[in-house]
Chain A
């Protein structure tokens, strides 16, 4: 019998590391058990963090006191702000990571965290007594006791790797699968399903002719993800761009008979937003070329990640089609691309706290819930860790609302809709997107992070100071006026029509004016951080839209506040169809609003329920 812990986290992937760190930082004793200590926070696929909607998740993780943002800031090798030509709400940060540095730094942070033990071991069974988890058992026969368990096993459960028609068990290239655990979960009564994902081959940098290719540099002044990072001073490396062509597509089509996907060997459902190159060629035959980014795997690594050619074709076909592309004529593959099938546990079986409905004290987070992506995994890990710790402290779980963060959207979607295919975050999944900006993630979530005891005091003070300067900034924009007599200023701004003068706020609403144009009228504003200035500008420029979005939230909350009593007997509602009744009983929604988001629960059913609830 091993030591006794408050929380055991199974799997040191992106979800597991966040979970374990959160638990320990909230003052509970945590054990992080993982298959291989050399693969802590390993990036299985693309060595990049952030991107559209994912960048938002990283900011939210940071706002709550998670680690991912600091980790990428410390190990990123190319930072870019995406969607800058689009609106303020969908602007998103992305960074290329040095894969080895990323992993190594996260391991150091975990090791250095007081109250957190990191151990190697494969969990094969959960200890469950009277409907409550009490610990885990490893393959070596060790038992660890705990009050709660967070399961974050990623793609490892019954992982099956496919390269062409060859397949073999594996959790990730070069790593063994986790056998037995999903069977055990099935025995406990969980619905376990099968999903699939894939990754491209890794190429030898020295065999690529970069001189023939267009380079894509990072931003001139890289912006950090974390409020704790002051400056990013690591050298930035460029990516390169190449394209598939007719010849590439021909080679791919010629290899389809040996594709596990098209020959029916793979049963798991793959992500539509992450199609393999063979998928793209088959489904969009009219597209003449596909863009491929060649991304360095690190500052010192000789491997290149070709973003856009994920594949499970046989290795010889992989090499053939790669060599049809410009710059890749002589390329060598260092690691082949592959597809992987794995077991996941349908998240419809979770409470919004990520605790399972079946086993008290057991939390699921990350790809085991059918999501895909490091950020989605880390976000869930963080929330599961927070809620496990809160449970141990006898406090209420934290559930982030859909109007509060992408984390809320993510978890609400998972527990209500389940995952029939790998779930990735998109900004369009968020109804209240204008309120969920990267720039205001701290205002949305830092109070929560502080309240649960995760966000450190020092950080809270800095956040409070930022709030204060925002408040003063707003005030100054309101009261500082340009008088009609101030001819010089009027001329400088090019505003001959300004008869009655105007406040800075009114001026800022004009599409042609930026805050920077007005700062000479109140030099105090110029002294603000670029972040605060950007936020002030956004708030004023889009005030009308933002106000309307807030009104939508108000309306949404009204349904959300109609509570369905726990243990409500849907069986007694004869007028609900058997199908709808089953769905409602499955999810056991806590509010009428939540009930309405369950697919297949018809508006008529909601109308019936609301009549009955109001009776």
Chain B
């Protein structure tokens, strides 16, 4: 029923940190590892869940890196399949060559979220965790993957389970008074039943409103590449994408329209935007392009202001600088392969200046690191405890539960009969059940029987 191919992908953000992890999952995972992994002690089989030290060789017997490898035998793994994780040194080039190694052995590049999807289909995740899968899939990046992962770790589950436990116990109390005569269960103190739920609803409201932060993480931040013509904006775009997507020429004014590409950058889902070089021009097409670039400068989450380090800043550069909001701008000093004569004093207001060569592909790792820092700060501070609702269905479930509980409060106010109050509570519980899984009547009865001495 399930695809039986073996997939591979890096699970750490590219260009970040000293160590990268590449994960393989599927029936051939062990075989692929054995083909290329050499260690001092010879062994036929790997023991599950043990870390092995060794060297990685490619098909031409060229040593790629010294690595740590761990195998996790099905079903005791994240995906439920046979899983291999190789810890190698970080760096875009090296990770790429490790991936190539496994790809040429026969593995397939994992689509975003595919590991989690497999885990879900193999029944390794509960409903809330499964919901997070959808997030991971949409996230197309491992950072937003991190938020999703937090959910997987059960943060959201834990919170919602706590809410749901509280509702359950209130419902049990109410049901006990419905299904059993007062002489067995005593009379009901509605006030003490309602109070904790009031506090809980406040919390739920806050949680539901964290959804918007979640959305940014999910849909990706927009990063605009801005600068005067010919500074190497399109070249930078191509270098970051790892392919020649944008046309590069030495003619100033090559790019005339904005060009958008999704990309995982430093672990964040990003929409990278290349724009026309900023300058005064009479060409109507280019003019429109410049106008668009300026408007993007306002709406972008982050701006990479590109300047050419091999020439002094010009009036056109200053025109571009004028459009940048200082606190969301990183200056990229391009053409670092050429002798530098740029006057940094004129860029003093910007705190981040990163030298790169888009042509030679150098300096990109540190650019990624700076971008990651910037985005990381923003998203973390916005997310408060580092915990947000990112799935629309979760938000809807919370909002529905809140609505039911408000109806419950109203019912209490007008002294509606207990079974009507119970209906609202149950409805609230069921809404949360979309995340936590359903509460069965038996669970409520269990609580009743353990709390009350009931029956003839």
Contact = CB atoms under 8 A, between A and B. Distances in A.
Interface of A: 46, 52-53, 82-83, 86-90, 271-275, 280, 283-284, 287, 290-291, 307-308, 310, 417, 426-431, 433-434, 511, 542, 545, 548-549, 552, 572-577, 580, 596-597, 599, 602-605, 607-608
A24 B407 CA distance: 50
Q: How large is the interface on B (under 10, 10 to 19, 20 to 34, 35 or more residues)?
A: 35 or more
Given A273-B454, A573-B1, 18 more contacts: A52-B178, A52-B180, A52-B181, A53-B179, A83-B181, A86-B417, A87-B416, A271-B455, A273-B445, A273-B455, A308-B456, A310-B456, A427-B419, A428-B175, A428-B445, A511-B415, A575-B1, A602-B126
Nearest to A579: B123
B420 A575 contact: no
Interface string B109-127: 0000000000011110111
Main secondary structure of the interface of A (DSSP, over half): loop
B456 A434 contact: no
Main secondary structure of the interface of B (DSSP, over half): helix
Contacts of A272: 449, 455
A60 B183 CA distance: 28
A310 B454 CA distance: 13
8 contacts: A52-B178, A272-B455, A273-B454, A290-B453, A575-B122, A596-B438, A603-B438, A604-B127
B441 interface: yes
Nearest to A542: B420
A599 B440 contact: yes
Contacts of B2: 574-575
A545 B183 CA distance: 28
Contact of A604 (B130, B178, B420, B427): B130
Given A576-B123, A603-B437, A434 B419 contact: yes
Contact of B419 (A89, A274, A572, A597): A89
Nearest to A45: B456
9 tightest Cβ-Cβ pairs between the two chains A and B? A87-B417, A603-B127, A284-B453, A575-B121, A428-B175, A574-B1, A87-B419, A273-B455, A272-B449
A308 B180 CA distance: 14
A435 to B, nearest CB: 10
Nearest to B426: A431
Nearest to A88: B417
A90 B418 contact: yes
Nearest to A306: B456
Interface string B173-191: 0010111110110000000
A272 B454 CA distance: 8
Contacts of B426: 431
Given A87-B417, A577-B123, A548 B456 contact: no
Contacts of A87: 416-420
B4 to A, nearest CB: 9
Interface of B: 1-2, 120-123, 125-127, 130, 175, 177-181, 183-184, 414-420, 422-423, 426-427, 437-438, 440-442, 444-445, 448-449, 453-456
A288 to B, nearest CB: 11
Contacts of B427: 548, 552
A549 B418 CA distance: 15
Contacts, number: 124
Contact of B456 (A274, A427, A429, A596): A274
A413 B178 CA distance: 20
B123 A604 contact: yes
Given A86-B178, A291-B183, A275 B455 contact: yes
A604 B120 contact: yes
Nearest to A290: B453
Contact of A427 (B123, B130, B179, B438): B179
Contacts of A284: 453
Nearest to A92: B179
A272 B452 CA distance: 11
A168 B179 CA distance: 35
B120 A433 contact: no
Contacts of B417: 86-90, 542
A302 to B, nearest CB: 22
Nearest to B454: A273
B126 A604 contact: yes
Contacts of B177: 86
Contacts of A82: 181
Nearest to A200: B456
Nearest to A286: B453
A428 B414 contact: no
A545 B416 contact: yes
Contacts of A283: 453
Nearest to A577: B123
Contacts of A275: 453-455
Contacts of A427: 178-179, 419
Nearest to A437: B419
A346 to B, nearest CB: 16
A602 B130 CA distance: 11
A564 B416 CA distance: 40
Contacts of B130: 603-604, 607
B211 to A, nearest CB: 22
A337 to B, nearest CB: 12
A46 B455 CA distance: 12
Nearest to B124: A604
B158 to A, nearest CB: 17
Which of A86, A426, A427, A597 has the largest count of B CB atoms less than 10 A from its CB? Answer: A426
B127 A602 contact: yes
A61 to B, nearest CB: 20
B423 A434 contact: yes
Contacts of A53: 179
Contacts of B181: 52, 82-83
Which of B121, B414, B422, B456 has the largest count of A CB atoms less than 10 A from its CB? Answer: B456
Which of B120, B427, B453 has the largest count of A CB atoms less than 10 A from its CB? Answer: B453
A104 to B, nearest CB: 25
A42 to B, nearest CB: 18
A273 B449 contact: yes
A433 B456 contact: no
Contacts of B445: 273, 426, 428-429
A124 to B, nearest CB: 34
